Each structure stands twice: as C-alpha cells, then as structure tokens.
Structure 1
C-alpha cells in the first residue's frame, strides 16, 4: 500500500499568501527585471509564483538581453590562508566602474583548491583545478560540480562555451600524452625523442544527465595548457602547436568537428601570440618589450586571411603619471576600443587601467579589500550578468 505523504502546511500557507500571485504577470516580470541576479535567485524560495517566472527560459533570455546592453568587468579573487579558502567575484559597471560601485558574491571552496576560471560565457563561468571542475553563475553565487575529467594526466586545457543550436553549455577538455619516437641525427645515428601531443579530447554537456564523452580529432596537435581558449558563436578557439607551428584550433560545439587555421609567418606571433578577448572578431595579440602591441585579426577563417593592427602603447608610468616598477599584462580590448592592462602580481588595493589609444586617455580602476599576497586574481570584461538557475 502506497504511503500518503503529508503536505507541509507552511508551504500551503505560503502559496495562499503569495502577494505576487495577485499582480499581473507583466508587472511581476518588470519588477524582477529591475533586480540584481542574486536577489532574483533568493526570491524563487519566497514566492512560488515568482519561482515559475524565474525558472522560465524566456525570462532568462529577456534578462540577458537587457544585461547585454550593460556589460561589466568581472574580477575573480581566490583568497588563500590556513583557516579558510574563499572564492569571490566582484562585478563592476564598465561605464561607471569604481571601487565603491560594485557587487560582490563569494562562496567557500574546498581547502587549498584555487580554481582557474575560463572567460565567462553568457553569464556563466567554468573553473578547474586538476581533474575537478565546477560551473556556476558568478552573479548569484550558485555553483555545481561536474564529474571528474576521465584522465590520469594533469596537463589539461579546458574551454567553456555555449552551443546556440542546441541551447546548451558545454566544456571541452584535452589532455596530453608523451610518445616515444625516433629521429635521425647527423652521421646516420638514430636517437629517441619525445613527441608530446593532445590525445584525449572530451566533451561534457552541462545538465542533469551530464557525462564526459570522447570526441575524435583528425588534426594531431599539442594544446598550450598555460593559455586560455574563448568561445564565439558556438565555436571554441584555442592556440596549439600543429605541424610544429603555432596555429589556431577551433571546435564546433554543434557538430563536434575540429578545424585548424594557420597563423601568419611572423616571429613575434609564433613565439608570444595569445588569444585576446576582443568583441567581434577572433584576435591574437603579441606584446613586445618595447611597448608595441600587435593585434592580428582573423578576417576569414576559411581563406586564412589575417589583418595586422599595430598600436604603440606609452609606458604605464607615463599613463599613470607616477614612477613604479610594476609589471603589467595586457588583458584585451573592450567593445569601446579601450585596452585593459593589469599588474602581473597582486597588489592592495588591486587596480587595473583602461587606455583609449584613439583619444590617448587613461582610466585607473581600483578595488579596495583585495590584492593581498595570498590572493589569486583574474580579470574578465564584457561580462553579461545572468539570472539563470542551475
């Protein structure tokens, strides 16, 4: 005989007294659209009626459409220490960024497990430490764990992206294997050498029935585990060594197909080129020691057509107007054309600068409360906030 489950009186009372149920649906949506993502995530527990709206994909898309017109800086901060590890995210308006005008969310991590995050995609972000991975919404503080990557190797490259054809988020992971081979040396001698290639290619779809699956790659290459990949229009891009040359690899999330695009024969590009977060087109940057910044923009992937744009960047001491010995890293270009530079080492307060090469103007943005020696900081921009519940 089936056991009857008693319904909670408190839950029934909450449904009856739900004030939002009496309001027109359009007004409820308008109220939610004015709220920050973290408040929306909490409201789903306070009102059953609002919860049905919040969990609707159409509302999530509507909220993201509005957020896309208000891009933000996203600062990932992992705070170390012997007692407690914390992961925090600071979100700042790109139009009115200041240390006093930002939102902050944080959550506790496993002890001594600083996650390295990939660039956010449509409001979500993916972090990895070894074979452990998490995906979450930094605007709400909600994160979920993914199954461990199926590998015994630790040299892993992971890329996070969105498949618009199937309306799902996916993660691509690659690991390397060292193969022993032989090569000929002068005089007819044959000596062994090591050929390091990316062998395992795995994909997981973020969702309830998530599971890693192997995918085939017909272009043997070696990924650069120290670099990050990006996702554009349903295609993941990352740099790799293909036929002993630095090349641009791409992975179509809907077809599971890999492709390779040759890079221009430029010495600086081949040695120091890195993918740059630049709105619109795939761009590879190479930053020389003499402050020259070369940007290689992919105009046509099929024909492998690249355009080189050179920019002369004044020394940071000239931009800021004070002497220093801080080393800066170029992080990318905003949709406004401003270039982002941040210190290589953490400082308190942490700051970064936005330089407009057209108007020769510079903005310094500082965030108080972060930047200690134990902090690990990552900077992302053109971040679109999402109210998506995982």
Structure 2
C-alpha cells in the first residue's frame, strides 16, 4: 500500500515538472498561502517557482483583488488576531493567531500588503502573519535619539522599504531620514530632507507606491502631510486641509484611502472627511458625517481603535476586547448606515486584551522572510 502511494506521488511530481512554468504559476496563484507552503516539498520546480520574485508579485496581485481581512494587534497576551470574512455574516469569519519574538515591543505599523513592521527595543522587525515568519532589520545608530519608522511598498518592483525619521530637540522634530530596501540592502542610507521643520504623529498610510504620514508644522502648528515616493525615494510636503490646526487640538485624526485618494478623517461629535483632490495644488474637499452618540464618543476620546475599508466603511472596535466576543461597529460613509457585528471567539476564555492597532487591509502575502 505504501509502495503504491509513493508511486502515485512520483507520477504527480513527474507530470507537474513537465508542465510549462507559466501554466504552473497560473494554477498555483489561486491557492492559499498555507497550501503553497506545503507544496514547497512537491518538487524542486514547484519550490523554485513558489519562491521566485515573479510568482510572489503575481500572487500578491491576485490577493489584492480578494476581500481584505482585519488585523488586530495587542499590547500584551495575544499578539495578534486576523479575521478573514468570506461573506458579510459574522459566523463566516475565520481566525488565526500571530506571535512576535517577545511581548516587549513598543509601536507597530499598519499592515502594508500583508506585512507589518514593529519595534522591539532598538531593533525593527518585519513580520508576515500569513507565513508566521519574521526578519530583524539592521540596527540604526540613533545616538539614543527617538525614531519614527514607516513601512511602504512599491507596486512596480514589488519592493518593501522602511523609512526612518530621526528626531531631535525638545519638541522631537525630524532631523534626518534614512531608508532601507527589504531583502536587497544590508545598511541604512541617508536621503535628502528638504521638508519644513515638523513633528510626526499618527500612523502612516501607503497608497499606490506613495507613503504618507501626518506632521505638525513647527512654526504654524498646522497639519502637514509628508509624502514619500517609495520607488524614487523622494520626499515632499503637502499642506493639510484648511483649519486642520483647530481640528488637531480637539479631535483625533486618521489618514485613510477614500476612493483611491488620500484623505484625513477628523473625529469629534461628527466626522469630517477631507479628501485630497489635487496634490500639486494642495486642494482638499470636505464632507461631514453624523455618527451615533456611542460611536462618536468612542472615536473622539481614544476609547476605541478604528480603521476604514476600501469601500468607505469606518470600522470601530473597543480599545479593550474580550476574548470571548469581538464586537465591531460599522459606519458606511456612502449610505450613512450603521451596523454592529459580533464575532464569537474563545467561549472558555474571559481575558481582556488591549488593542494596540486595527487594520482593515490585510491580504495574503507569500513573501518569505
């Protein structure tokens, strides 16, 4: 019986190796990451194909067309939890847990095409929740200065780059920038900084190869959006929407992608959506949405974590989550409708976890770290 099984497996391997590589890639790109990892042992051809740069880019392009998942990152206990919706019914969510080298990490970047970057003491780590693998980046000589780090992706070359802003002074203003290309560079290189003096805050956002983060102008205290072209490694400032300095003092703000454009959400009693219509002219449009009292209170006073989907839905989760039930509030900015989704977790566990961040753009990524 074992001999017959081995003969069948050998025949499958021989037939698969006789197929054109392009056809093999077309077949494999439709499979989930877990299956592809198992298929690394099918044959040398399949292993080299799955690990190739061309196939990883092809697989990512397919993943980006599928529904995106939610990624929760916790400060203690569970380090991560991902939810992949198959339909709009809460019972259809599947979950898996991710882990880091240790629970002692400081800050973490949002998911960028399936990868996240987090700081562990003076070390930056890139982690792939799908493959459960990570890589530590070369350490930066910071002279004990604080840094802000941002993960970006170039869709043309399928390159991932980490941008580090070195801070200094009593107000933690950006003094210099350094960048590292994942997988091809072994040291950080300094890049030109022609920006106005600013203090970075909030989480970054990467849209179509451009990385954005928010900063406060050191002179006017107005909102400045810093843009970093991942491919060219050029940095440009974008003036924030009019009156943003008032918003920043009294409301929390978040960078989002709205209809494939850069936008800023300002949370208070209502939601102000400012969309960048023309980056060259720094022209912004503004819309106002009224949320329910409960959701507004959560977003406005830091009692929740929120994210925005590609379809324009604001997803809000409590800052402290129970392991047994995950409750999410959805607000559709296009239809002005609200709904609450309850996801059953571990019924036997009554632990409460602090949510560090929430991302709604998680996709399967095959990159081997």
Pairwise same-fold verdict (TM > 0.5) = yes
The reply to whether residue 22 of structure 1 matches residue 15 of structure 2 is yes
> d(CA) in 2 for partners of 1:130 and 1:224?
20
Unaligned runs of 5+ in 1: 1-12, 179-193, 319-325
CA distance in 2, matches of 1:228, 1:42: 35
SS in 1 for 2:320: coil
Query: Any residues of structure 2 matched to 1:188-199 within 5 Å, and which?
Result: 194=170, 196-199=172-175
**Which residue of structure 2 aligns with residue 337 of structure 1?**
312
Q: Is 1:379 paired with 2:334?
A: no
Deviations 1:283-318 (A, max 9, x none): 111111x2x000111111110100001000112379
What TM-score, normalized by structure 1, do the two folds share?
A: 0.78
Aligned equivalents of 1:75 and 1:97: distance in 2? Answer: 18
CA distance in 2, matches of 1:118, 1:356: 25
Say whether residues 1:106 and 2:98 are aligned partners: yes
CA deviation after TM superposition for structure 1 residue 351, in Å: 2.5
1:354-365 paired onto structure 2 within 5 Å: 354-357=330-333, 358=335, 360-365=337-342
Aligned to 1:161: 152
Residue 199 of structure 1, CA deviation: 0.9
Match for residue 167 of structure 2?
A: 176
1:150 aligned counterpart, secondary structure: coil
Superposed CA offset, 1:215-261 (max 9, x none): 22112423334x11111222211111223322111122233222111
Deviations 1:319-339 (A, max 9, x none): xxxxxxx97536233222222
Whether 1:92 and 2:84 are equivalent positions in the alignment is yes
* DSSP-derived class of the 1:346 partner: strand
- Cα distance, 1:154–1:46 mapped onto 2, change above 3 Å: farther
Cα shift at 1:374: 4.7
Query: In structure 2, what is the Cα distance between the partners aligned to 1:329 and 1:105?
Result: 21
Q: What is the CA–CA distance in structure 2 between the aligned matches of 1:62 and 1:117, rounded to whole Å?
A: 27
**Given the alignment of the two structures, is residue 284 of structure 1 paired with residue 276 of structure 2, yes or no?**
no
Other-structure match for 2:36: 40
Query: Where does 1:320-331 land on structure 2 (aligned, <5 Å)?
Result: 328-329=303-304, 331=306
Aligned residues: 347
Which of 183, 194, 201 is 1:207 aligned to?
A: 183
Alpha-carbon RMSD: 3.0
Q: Deviations over 1:33-52 (max 9, x none)?
A: 34321231232145322212
User: CA 1:260 to 1:228, structure 2 compared with 1: closer, same or farther past 3 Å?
Assistant: same
Output the CA distance in 1 between the equivalents of 2:178 and 2:350: 35
Q: Deviations over 1:195-224 (max 9, x none)?
A: 542113111110153211112211242333
Of residues 72, 77, 81, the one that matches 2:68 is 72
What's the TM-score once normalised by structure 2's chain length? 0.82
SS at match of 1:120: coil
Distance 1:18 1:145, change over 3 A: farther
**How far apart in 1 are the matches of 2:23 and 2:156?**
31
Cα separation, partners in 2 of 1:62 and 1:96, compared to 1, 3 Å: farther
Q: CA deviation at 1:143?
A: 1.1
CA–CA separation in structure 1 for the residues paired with 2:341 and 2:134 = 31
